[in-house]
Structures are given as C-alpha cells and as structure tokens.
Amino acid sequence: MTNSTNNLLLLLLLLFFSGSSTELNDGDELQTLLTIKRDWGSPAAFSSWEVRSSISFGYCDWVGVVCTDGEVTSLSFPSFQIANPIPTSICSLKNLQYLDLSYNNLTGDFPTVLYGCSALVYLDLSNNELSGRLYGDIDKLSLGMLHLNLSSNAFVGDVPLAIEKFSKLKSLVLDSNSFNGNYPGAAIGGLVELETLTLANNPFEPSPVPKEFGNLTKLKLLWLSWMNMTGTIPNDMSSLTELTLLDLSQNKMQGQIPEWVLKHHKLENLYLYASNLSGEISPNITALNLQELDLSMNKLSGSIPEDIANLKKLRLLYLYYNNLTGPIPAGVGMMPNLTDIRLFNNKLSGPLPTELGKHSELGNFEVSNNNLSGELPDTLCFNKKLYDIVVFNNSFSGVFPANLGDCETVNNIMAYNNHFVGDFPKKIWSFELLTNVMIYNNNFTGTLPSEISFNISRIEMENNRFSGALPSAAVGLKSFTAENNQFSGELPTDMSRLANLTELNLAGNQLSGSIPPSIKSLTGLTSLNLSRNRISGEIPAAVGWMGLYILDLSSNQLSGEVPAALQTLAYEDSFLDNPSLCCQSESGMHIRTCPWSQSMSHDHLALSKIAILVILPCITLASVAITGWLLLLRRKKGPQDVTSWKMTQFRTIDFTEHDIVSNISECNVIGRGGSGKVYRIHLGGDIKAGRHGGGCTPRTVAVKRIGNTSKLDTNLDKEFESEVRTLGDLRHSNIVDLLCCISSQETKLLVYEHMENGSLDQWLHRYKRAGKSGPLDWPTRVAIAIDVARGLSYMHEEFVQPVIHRDVKCSNILLDREFRAKIADFGLARILAKSGESESASAVCGTFGYIAPEYVYRSKVSVKVDVYSFGVVLLELATGRGPQDGGTESGSCLAKWASKRYNNGGPVADLVDGEIQDPSYLDDMVAVFELGVVCTSEEPASRPPMSDVLHRLMQFDHSGTHSDGVVAKGVFDIDDSSDCIV
C-alpha cells in the first residue's frame, strides 16, 4: 500500500513538472519569436503575429511558423522584405530544422550566427545581397545539413574546402554569385548523397570539369553553365545515370559531345549551347525521355542524326548557329510533341519533312539562313498552333500553302529572299494576331484587300508581282514597302485610315492620279518614296510640313511649284525627272525656275530686313527684363533649409543629407539631360569609411537632381518614383547601385556610386572622344557587351518580376576604372506582371535611334524593347558608328542601315569599325554585327531573349580576363557621367 502511494505521488510530480516545463518552453519560444520580429524591425509581413494568451502554442499558427509536437521546427519567410541582420536569438529555437529567408534584402557577410542552430537541416538564403567570402569554418553549421541554398547573392573568392564535411547533403545550390576563385571539385565529388548541384553563373578561375563529379551517382540535376569550364566533357560522368537535367552551356570547352550524353535514359533536359563544342552529333541517340535539347551556338558539323526522330517526348529542338549540313531527317515530321524548332544559321539543304506539323502542335518554326529548297509542307499549321514562320534566305520555291490562309494563330511571317511563286493567300491579311509580313524578293502574285488587319504593323513585299489597288485602311500599319510590284490605280483619297505610317515606299509601280491633300494626316511619316510611277498634279503643301527624312517623288508627271519648305538642297534629288515641276530661283536646286519667281525676290528681301530691325530689339529687351526678375525672385527665396530634406537609404552609407546637399554646385556638374543635372560630389575626409566596421560607401558619388527651384513637374516626379522604385530593389553587379534618395518638396536627389570612366558613348564615338586615348580595342568592347547583356538578362529573366529599362543606350552604360560596365538611368523603367507579355504604354519614351518599332507604332512595351535597343548598342560596338549614322537612305537610322546592308549581301567585313580592324578579331566583329541585326529585327518575336544574346556573346570572350577579379555587387568605385533621359 505504501509503495503504491509513493509511486502515485511520483507520477503526479512528474506530470506536474512536465506540464510546467512545457509551459516554460511555450513561453520561451513565444518570447524568442517576438524578439526575432523586433530585431527585424517588425516588417509588414509579420503584422499577423499577435499574442493570444488564451491559446496555448498560438504562435504555431503565425505566418511562416511551423511547429511539430508543440515546438517550432520551421521558419519560412521568403519575400518578407527583411533587411536587418539575422538575430542571434533565432538559434534559441533549439528544434529549428528548416529556415527559408530567400528573396529578402539581407546584406553583409555570411551570417555566422547560424552556426548555433544545431538542428538545422534546411537553409535557404538565396536571392539576397549577401557578399564577401564564405568562411573556411562554414562546417560549424549543422553537419546534418541536407539542403544548402546560397544562390543569387554576391559571394566572392573560393568555395571553401570545408564544404566536404556536409556528407549528408542532398542539395548544394551555389549558382549566380560572383565566386571568382576556385571550387573544391574533388571534395564536392565526395558528397555522394547529392541529388542537386548548381555552381552555374560564377566567374570561377578557368578549370576542367572535375572527374570526381562522376562519383555523384545520385545526381538528378547538374547545372554548371557559365563558370569558365575548359577542356572536354569527361567520360567519368557517364556514371550519372539518374540525371534528368544536365547543363554545361556557356563555357569555354572543346572537343566533341561524348556518345554517353545522348544515351542517358532518364535525361529530360540537355543544354550544351554556346560551349565551343565541335565535331558531329553522335548518330546513336537513346535518351528517349529528352524533352528539351539545346546544342545551339557551337561549332557542330555533319548532319542531324536520323535517330533524333526517336525522341517522341521532345518539345524543343535548338540546333541554330552551327555548321550542320545535309537534310532535316524526314522522321522529324513525325515527332508527336515537337512544338519549337530552331535550326537557323546552318548549312542545311534539301526539302523539309513532308508531314512537318501534322503530328505535333508546332508553334515556332525557324529555319532561316540555310540552303533548304522545295515547297513548304501544307501541314505546317495542321493543328492550328503555328505562330512563327521564319524561312528567309533559303531556296524555297512553289506556292505558299493555301491552307496557311486558315492559320489565324500566326503573328510573324518572314519568307523573304526565296523563290516562291503564285498567289499569296489573301486571307492572311485579315489575321488579328499577325504583326509582321516580310516576303520581299520572291515572285508572289495576288492582290491586297481594301482593309488590312488592325494588328499588322509591318509589310515588306518589294520585288514581287502583286497588282491591283492599294489598301485604303490599315490602322496599325507603320511600315509599308512595296517597291517594284504592279500596283495600279490612285493613292487612297482618304489617307487618315493609314495615319500610323512612318515609312511608305511604293516606288516602281503603276500608280496614277494625284497625291491627295489627306496625306497631311500621316503625321508620323518620316520616309516617303513614290518614285517611278505615273503620279500627276501638284505636290500638296502639307508634304513640306511633315518633316520627312527621306522623300523621293522622282520620275513621275508632277507639275506646279515645289512646296516652299522643300526647296532646299537637302531635297535636291527628290523631284528629278518631273519636267513640269518648278521652284524659286534662289533655292539653288537643279529644277526649272518658276516663271513668276524673279519678280518677287526683291520685295521679299526688303520685308525681311524690316522685320529683323524691328523685332530683334524687342526680343532683347524682354529677355533682360525676365532674367532680372528671376534673379530677384531667387535672391528673396534664399537657399532651402537642409532640415527640410528627407533621406531614404537603400544601402549601408556613412554620410548625411548635409554632406550631399551642401556640395551641390555648378562647378560639380558632369551631365545634363531632360530631367535635370548630374553632379560629381567628393565626400569630405571627416567622413570615415567603415567607422562601424565593414562600411563600404564610396568616397565619390554621383548625384542626379530632378527638379529645380519651382514645384516639381508631374512627369519628373513620376520619373523619380520610377527610378527609386526600380533601382531600390535591383541588385546586380552590372546595374548601377542606388545608394539613397534625398527629397524635398521641390527637388529630388538620387545618389549613386561613381564611375570613373564615364559613359560608353564618350569612348566609342569619334566626335565625343576628345581628350581621351584611342578607340576601345575589340576585347574591351566584347567585355562591355557581355556586362550589359548580363545585367539585362537579370532584369528580364531573373528578377522577381521582369523589369524593362526602356532607354538602353551607350550614354546610359557606365564604365568603371577597369572598363567594367553597368546599366544606369532607370527613370523610364517599367515592371511587367509576367515575363514576355506586352503592355500598353501611356507615352513613348526613349532616344531616337534606339526605340523599337512596336514601341513607336503601337506603344507596346515588352522586354523585346530592350533587346532592340541593345542590338543598336552592339551595332555601335561593331561599327563605331552612332545610332543615327545610318545615312540618308536609311533615315539616319543605324539599325535600318545595318539590316539593309546585311540582307543585300556583300562583304560584311567592310561594315565593321576600320579603326580597330584586326584580322584575329574580324570574324568575331562580323558575328557581333550580325547579332546586332538579329536583335534589331522589326518583329519583336524574331528577337532572341537576352539570355540567348548573352550566351552568344560569351563565345567571343577569348581572352579569359573578363571574368577574372570580379568584385562583389555594390562596391565598384564608379563615375556617372551619362546623359540624362532624352
């Protein structure tokens, strides 16, 4: 009885203390979580963390918190806008196993406070702003770690050898940093439990693929692109039979693709593009689960293997930019899942597979720049999914399939420079999704409907045999070139339904009648060519007010006096072979003088002298009065009190508003633009860098001032907000760092890092290079192009939401002391909800020569707008010309000039910059020129994504020095002397 009583008392005591302990743990964890919230500055995402004393373990229901058996085991806070350091208290949660802090704003070195989280098995710090080196004692983290993700930060140096201690790791994700040292290949090869390994997008020291990676037989995903790998693909990796994804793209390798690569049965995605691989593709392909195969932008030769048709699950086949020959295997036409075929820029020949498109939902079909022949299969759009037909520069013949007239999904047709004959399907002109039709240099016949689809913006159909009347309505049409056809009749009487035209070329047809007065409705027209027709009557005076860059009305039957605004030597050749035209005697033009011209000249001269003598003094007096009044007003107002300024920080800085505002003066101005001035400000010696430890504020900054002494203009205010909102979130080594913004009611200041070598245009264009050394050499130009492409690729494809710059140009590309490039001036930037989608813009902004056609024509903005602008930059780098150095035949547009010269054939080598021509670089200069032409395609769908452009450019970085010594994001000491937004 006594023993039973004692046992019962003991049990009651245990239960009591157990309950007390649970309540104690409950209270400890609650306080720890509240401390974490407080130390992180109570971000808005934690607003639901409220204490409810009546509910035990209530915090287990808080956002981001997961409990197991009443104890916190998981904290998941992705995209919570956390900027403060990780507090030490986080490891007081002794059972914490899972910690996700991805997509936040964490800065500084790797957080060693996590060494105290002994139970941690999952750690995700990806997509933050962490920098510096990984410490050699990183193995103080929990050695039970299963998942370690540090991708998309700014870590530099080596990957430490201590990584080998994490023997249980299943996932090691280190891609997209700035590691510029070495990685321990042998040590990583010993982590035999790994299923995911990513080291991609890091400028490591060049080295071959570690053979030890062949030990990782459980790997399912291996991503090793753009990390300076050399040598061949080792056969040791043939043991990786569990792989579903293998990516070795954008490296500096050599040799052939080993046979085993295309034999792995579980492989679904294989990316080997832009890796300098050569030789033939193995004829024995048994990787039957492949869904995406990208071997583009290499030096592959030989034919496309017949076995490729056995890949029944393949959706994407990219073999473009190689040296492949022979036919496209007939079996490709039978593949049931193939939706995207890109074989352009090879040497393929023969006909297309007869049933291509019948057995799969073919969407994108690009085989341009080959030697293909025969007819297009009438099955291309069998499944009504086809949207891209790109077959230009081949030897296709026969009729364009009539059933393509029922393929309403098509938005782009590029079939120029072939041998097509017969009627072009008339129903195509009514497709609502169609935007671009380029079919010039064929033998097409047929007529155009009276009304063209509202969405078609470009028609290039010159050198065919189209006939009949011109369309009277095409509300979306911007460019219509139909030279050398057989169109007849008159120009439309009412041209207001063609009001969006910017280019109209109808030369060499059989048009008659007069130029209608309604031509004045074409307010955006810049190029008009009606030469070699039978047009008669007088030239409407409105033609002289249209500001045309190109005008050619020669070889017609026009009469009367040339409009006064056109009687200049700039239009001297615009009216030749019109015997009944005349002009004033003083025009200096080689055209017949009008009989009434001589008698009026003396009266005009006298009136002009009187006007000058009377008006000029009035203007002078008014100017003096206004200037004096403004100076008096400014003196009364006085300088603005610095206490009225508000600073918002985006980086760790160690200067004040006063340090900036007090140093703004005219003597510090280094640039001017439409939105204000840019100043260079040297911070005083009393501001000590790093006084709090680790501070990295540059000693010289660039300050962009938006607004003046009056109320800030609404547009400038929007521009300021756009730049702050965009740059405040973007973090990349090739995007200029916005340190802070300082604002008052009347003026906004943006404080940037400073770039010593100013903007690219000052080094590239002869007329701006005064005082600088000779032209930039070719390796430097390639390095700059790669830097900019990497920044744009991040903005378009890697940021949380795609960001469009909208004003990419040489003056917005800034260079540091080592000529590393960064993208600047985000005042026009726009954030898209979904990548690849177009949105309407309320106004067209940008700089002439860089603006994409669809942006001007339809105010449609997508990432392809930036691709076009970057293409112009590539053309500038390759040719040394400016964006408006295209000559009069191209409307001063460099992109149009390059496209015409390229498409007309002839030696492209004559087009590149003669100042730096070097036989060893000539092929690369030509290739970059051609890439610029591709990027500036008139049709957005034909422009490659920036990631593809970057991959292509990497092939031209032969020096191996571009990736060496890459600095952590945000610590370049740089100078902003770019133009402000035009």
pLDDT number for residue 938: 81
The CATH number of residue 912's host domain is: 1.10.510.10
Question: Residue 75, Cβ neighbours under 10 Å: how many?
Answer: 19
- For residues 711 and 58, give the distance between their C-alpha atoms in angstroms, rounded to a whole number: 52
The values of phi and psi at residue 400, to 5°, are -70, 125
Binned at pLDDT 50, 70 and 90, residue 843 comes out as very low
pLDDT number for residue 829: 60
pLDDT number for residue 330: 95
Measuring CA to CA, how many Å separate 644 from each of 634, 641, 662, 747?
18, 6, 13, 11
pLDDT number for residue 611: 46
The values of phi and psi at residue 365, to 5°, are -135, 105
DSSP element (H, E) containing 436: strand 436-438
- For residues 891 and 158, give the distance between their C-alpha atoms in angstroms, rounded to a whole number: 52
Binned at pLDDT 50, 70 and 90, residue 336 comes out as very high
* DSSP for 591-617, written as a single string: SPBPTTHHHHHHHHHHHHHHHHHHHHH
- Average pLDDT, integer, range 763-784: 76
Torsional sign, CA 676, 781, 778, 923:
negative
- Average pLDDT, integer, range 196-219: 95
Percent of the chain residues topping a pLDDT of 70: 81
Identify the bridge partners of residue 131 per DSSP, sorted by sequence position: 154
Residue 773 maps to a domain: yes
- Amino acid found at 527: S
Question: Residue 710, Cβ neighbours under 10 Å: how many?
Answer: 8
Residue numbers of the domain that contains 397: 327-435
pLDDT tens sequence across 437-483: 999 999 999 999 999 999 999 999 999 999 999 999 999 999 999 99
pLDDT number for residue 362: 96
Residue 411 is classified by DSSP as: -
Q: Is the pLDDT of residue 635 over 90?
A: no
Same domain, 482 and 425: no
Same domain, 583 and 499: yes
More confident residue, 817 or 131: 131
Residue 176 maps to a domain: no
More confident residue, 662 or 422: 422
Same domain, 770 and 878: yes
Structure tokens at 796: 């378009």
Q: Is the pLDDT of residue 40 over 70?
A: yes
Considering 529, 563, 594, which residue would you say is the last residue of a domain?
Answer: 594
Closest-CA residue to 176 (of 221, 139, 219, 225): 225
Structure tokens at 572: 């001297």
pLDDT number for residue 689: 35
- In the block, residue with structure tokens 């100017």: 623
Structure tokens at 258: 């080993």
Residue 403 maps to a domain: yes
Same domain, 949 and 878: yes
Least confident of 234-243, 302-311, 536-545, 973-982: 973-982
- For residues 869 and 388, give the distance between their C-alpha atoms in angstroms, rounded to a whole number: 22
How many Cα atoms are found within 13 Å in the side-chain-facing hemisphere of 463?
12
Identify the bridge partners of residue 448 per DSSP, sorted by sequence position: none
- For residues 969 and 735, give the distance between their C-alpha atoms in angstroms, rounded to a whole number: 9
Question: Residue 663, Cβ neighbours under 10 Å: how many?
Answer: 17
Q: Is the pLDDT of residue 221 over 80?
A: yes
**Cα 492 to chain center, whole Å?**
40
pLDDT number for residue 746: 77
Same domain, 520 and 470: yes
Q: Is the pLDDT of residue 836 over 80?
A: no
Beta strand 269-271 with 229-230: parallel, antiparallel or unpaired? unpaired
The alpha carbons of the chain give a radius of gyration, in whole angstroms, of: 33
Same domain, 826 and 705: yes
The CATH number of residue 542's host domain is: 3.80.10.10
pLDDT tens sequence across 517-540: 999 999 988 889 999 999 999 999
Same domain, 825 and 677: yes
Residues 6+ apart with CB under 8 A from 412: 387, 388, 389, 390, 434, 435, 436, 939, 941, 942
Residue 310 is classified by DSSP as: G
Residue 487 maps to a domain: yes
Binned at pLDDT 50, 70 and 90, residue 270 comes out as very high
- In the block, residue with structure tokens 């899972």: 98
pLDDT tens sequence across 724-760: 666 666 778 898 888 888 888 778 888 888 888 888 9
Structure tokens at 64: 């981001």
Cβ atoms of 177 and 158 within 8 Å: the answer is no
Residue 563 maps to a domain: yes
Residues 6+ apart with CB under 8 A from 131: 107, 108, 109, 153, 154, 155, 156, 968, 969, 970, 971
Distance from first CA to last CA of the chain, Å, rounded? 98
Least confident of 179-193, 262-276, 378-392, 662-676: 662-676
Residue 616 maps to a domain: no
Residue 758 maps to a domain: yes
- For residues 296 and 274, give the distance between their C-alpha atoms in angstroms, rounded to a whole number: 6
Q: Is the pLDDT of residue 813 over 50?
A: yes
Least confident of 49-63, 628-642, 884-898: 628-642
- Average pLDDT, integer, range 60-64: 92
Cβ atoms of 124 and 100 within 8 Å: the answer is yes
Same domain, 569 and 656: no
Cβ atoms of 282 and 306 within 8 Å: the answer is no
Closest-CA residue to 404 (of 371, 428, 437, 375): 428
Residue 303 is classified by DSSP as: B
Measuring CA to CA, how many Å separate 39 from each of 286, 373, 552, 615?
56, 69, 72, 70
- For residues 415 and 310, give the distance between their C-alpha atoms in angstroms, rounded to a whole number: 30
Residue 604 maps to a domain: no
Q: Is the pLDDT of residue 968 over 60?
A: no
pLDDT number for residue 165: 96
Q: Is the pLDDT of residue 711 over 80?
A: no
Binned at pLDDT 50, 70 and 90, residue 561 comes out as very high
pLDDT tens sequence across 77-86: 999 989 999 9
- Average pLDDT, integer, range 826-850: 57
Domain count, the chain: 3
- In the block, residue with structure tokens 């973007």: 730
Binned at pLDDT 50, 70 and 90, residue 891 comes out as low
pLDDT tens sequence across 369-422: 999 999 999 999 999 999 999 999 999 999 999 999 999 999 999 999 999 999
Q: Is the pLDDT of residue 8 over 50?
A: no
Question: Residue 748, Cβ neighbours under 10 Å: how many?
Answer: 23
pLDDT number for residue 974: 28
**Cα 465 to chain center, whole Å?**
39
- Average pLDDT, integer, range 99-125: 95
Question: Residue 63, Cβ neighbours under 10 Å: how many?
Answer: 12
Same domain, 382 and 483: no
More confident residue, 952 or 640: 952
pTM for the model stands at 0.70
- Average pLDDT, integer, range 198-221: 95
The values of phi and psi at residue 411, to 5°, are -120, -5
Torsional sign, CA 767, 773, 779, 782:
negative
pLDDT number for residue 622: 53
Q: Note if 807 is an active site residue.
A: yes
Q: Output the CA angle 470-475-478, nearest 5 degrees.
A: 80
Cβ atoms of 775 and 764 within 8 Å: the answer is yes
Cβ atoms of 85 and 109 within 8 Å: the answer is no
Query: Please, what is the average pLDDT of the chain?
Result: 83
- For residues 881 and 874, give the distance between their C-alpha atoms in angstroms, rounded to a whole number: 10
Binned at pLDDT 50, 70 and 90, residue 25 comes out as low
Same domain, 492 and 465: yes
- Amino acid found at 670: I
More confident residue, 704 or 432: 432
Same domain, 553 and 677: no
pLDDT number for residue 13: 42
Least confident of 492-496, 544-548, 649-653, 816-820: 649-653
pLDDT tens sequence across 376-385: 999 999 999 9
Q: Is the pLDDT of residue 17 over 80?
A: no
Candidates 247, 378, 737, 807; catalytic one: 807
- For residues 326 and 521, give the distance between their C-alpha atoms in angstroms, rounded to a whole number: 52
- In the block, residue with structure tokens 């911070």: 683
Percent of the chain residues topping a pLDDT of 90: 54
Structure tokens at 837: 């989608």
Cβ atoms of 409 and 432 within 8 Å: the answer is no
- In the block, residue with structure tokens 């990419």: 808
- For residues 547 and 105, give the distance between their C-alpha atoms in angstroms, rounded to a whole number: 50
pLDDT number for residue 639: 42
Same domain, 470 and 571: yes
